[in-house]
Amino acid sequence: KAGVTQTPRYLIKTRGQQVTLSCSPISGHRSVSWYQQTPGQGLQFLFEYFSETQRNKGNFPGRFSGRQFSNSRSEMNVSTLELGDSALYLCATRQGNEQYFGPGTRLTVT
């Protein structure tokens, strides 16, 4: 069974631009969560989707948004990028008590 995949793996953007990240969950998993990871803050919860509906949302500004498609694939969008948005963005799928993380997308904002 293939694991969680994320694309792209690396991305460099300029302040003010927008970016879209993609996450494909493990086959059969319908829950997708997104996290931002920075050295100082650790992993912070962005939002969670289940069956195309946003179930939960963390404490991030409205510039961060997401959606989930009928095949459970999910995208995350960040508009008007700021230098502080530079981070590793991880998505995870969940089944029961277990969470499975993707390899992440390393976003650098210059």
Partner 1 sequence: KNQVEQSPQSLIILEGKNCTLQCNYTVSPFSNLRWYKQDTGRGPVSLTIMTFSENTKSNGRYTATLDADTKQSSLHITASQLSDSASYICVVSAVYSGGGADGLTFGKGTHLIIQP
Q: Contact, 21 vs 6, CB < 8 A?
A: yes
CB closer to partner 1, 41 vs 70:
41
The encoded tokens of residue 70 equal: 């009928």
66 interacts with partner 1 by CB under 8 A? no
CB-nearer residue toward partner 1: 81 or 104: 104
Nearest to 87 by CA among 66, 73, 104: 104
Decide the pairing of beta strands 10-13 and 105-109: parallel
What mask, x for binding partner 1 by CB under 8 A, covers residues 13 to 52? ------------------x-x-------xxxxx--x----
60 secondary structure, DSSP code: -
In the complex, the residues that contact partner 1 under the rule CB under 8 A are 4, 31, 33, 41-45, 48, 55-58, 88, 90, 92, 94, 97-104, 106
